[in-house]
Amino acid sequence: MRIVDVINKKKHGESLSKAEIDFFIEGYTKGEIPDYQASALLMAIYFKGMEAQEIADLTDAMVRSGDQVDLSRIEGIKVDKHSTGGVGDKISLIVIPLVASVGVPVAKMSGRGLGHTGGTIDKLEAIEGFKVELSNEDFINNVNQYKMAIVGQSGNLTPADKKLYALRDVTGTIDSIPLIASSIMSKKIAAGTDAIVLDVKVGSGAFMKSLDDARELAKTMVAIGNSLNRKTVAVITNMDQPLGHEVGNANEIQEAIEVLSGHGAEDETEVALTIASYMAVLGGAFKNIEQARKHFEALIASGEAIEILKKFVQIQGGNPEVISNPELLPKASKHIEVKADLEGYVAGFDAEKIGISAMMLGAGRRKKEDAIDFAAGITLKKKIGEHVNLGDVLCVLHTNADDTTEAERMARTAFVVSNHHPGEVKYIYEIIE
């Protein structure tokens, strides 16, 4: 078999066989197929697309390119969730203790933030002592005993995806649904869980800007999961503005505490309860979503949910007192108010600009090697639909950085103020099962 024949076949819009896809992934991972030929095939896929079976075969080949996590020693149906990335997205922090509380094992591998999107692992490291590196034995024991554990991604999972993603980044082939879907799902399947709930973000702060594209990605990923024997559901959620009011690391931990204490913002509470409910149903704890949701609402109202979050922090070496007293979290030395220069309603948001501004303040990374300031971040004082008077505070920047000029400008231009009320904001657009 020759790679040039595979390239020509896809160039003419034909479907690739499993053998041809395996040949490409294996050859490229081993370095036997050069970047220039891999780039040609990626571009052919970008323009000609892939059939459902091709995408499933591509995902499977990437899974088999490296290690696969064996969670067979964990009892029950292991359920994971994955977000396609957004601003102020602290949903994992909320759903892990909720889902674990009903006996559904959550064995979560999570990544770090890069660019304008934050990583769950970075947020948790804002808690004094919290360990995100666990031995495989401790990870499995924690899930069996407490039904919850989280670790940073490590080992040789999906090396083909790592190589291909780097190549896509420099060849203009990032925004291809088959390539995005297979990249995300290969990592989730290699992580070894039985069922997956996908939080597919759409809007100005998400990778998918249009609902049609988000729906296509969601349907593609659900089809991949189901074809590879993973029960998969996708929830398409609004990312036209940051979730909740906090963007950063320590301040997002504080906001997750508020949700589990029953005082959270409406948007993130709605998204978290929906995702937790689907996870619990896939895990077999409830027969339907309504039943699961009512249980979780009661758990939060009773005060039990926050106690489970404390336990989660404690079993991974963190200081549980932080949950009772968020003042123990890292604090910034500067708090800069960004004020409105127009009167009207917040009619829209460039959520990505808020994410980039937070990154500039120290809350995120430009490069993988950059250090994070856990205290840095942004508190939103106004969100879509709220009235703004001249001079009202739109948001507050928290930082230890010396120069904040560009971050302030970026945050100010993220707000769209208009004379017209924008109408009701939807938090969840669609569920794909």
Single out the catalytic residue among 81, 90, 112, 168.
168
The DSSP call for residue 17 is: P
- 330-418: in CATH 3.90.550.10: no
Tell me how far CA of residue 201 lies from CA of 64, 83, 208, 240, 333, in angstroms. 28, 7, 7, 9, 33
Query: Could you say which of 3.40.50.1820, 3.40.1030.10, 1.10.3720.10, 3.30.465.10 is the CATH number of the domain covering 79-157+169-324?
Result: 3.40.1030.10
pLDDT tens-place string over residues 185-233: 999 999 999 999 999 999 998 889 999 999 999 999 999 999 999 999 9
Residue 73 annotated to the active site = no
Residue 175 annotated to the active site = no
Once rounded to an integer, what is the mean pLDDT over residues 245-261?
97
Residue 365 annotated to the active site = no
Single out the catalytic residue among 78, 82, 215, 293.
82
pLDDT for residue 115:
59
The DSSP call for residue 232 is: E
Give the domain ranges of the chain.
3-49, 79-157+169-324, 330-418
Judged against a pLDDT cut of 70, whether residue 343 lies above it is answered with yes
Residue 183 annotated to the active site = yes
Which residue blocks in 341-416 are alpha helix, DSSP H? 351-358, 405-412
pLDDT tens-place string over residues 113-155: 665 666 899 999 999 999 999 998 999 999 999 999 999 877 7
3 state SS of 398: strand
With CA atoms as reference, report the closest residue to 410 among 347, 345, 360.
360
Residue 402 annotated to the active site = no
Single out the catalytic residue among 92, 176, 182, 183.
183
CATH class in words for 3-49: mainly alpha
- The phi, psi pair for 53, rounded to 5°, reads -65, -35
Judged against a pLDDT cut of 90, whether residue 171 lies above it is answered with yes
Single out the catalytic residue among 161, 194, 199, 350.
161
What is the reported pTM? Answer: 0.94
pLDDT for residue 198:
98
pLDDT for residue 107:
94
CB 267 within 8 A of CB 349: no
Q: Check for a shared fold between 79-157+169-324 and 330-418.
A: no
pLDDT band at 169 (very low <50, low <70, confident <90, very high): confident
Single out the catalytic residue among 116, 123, 187, 231.
187
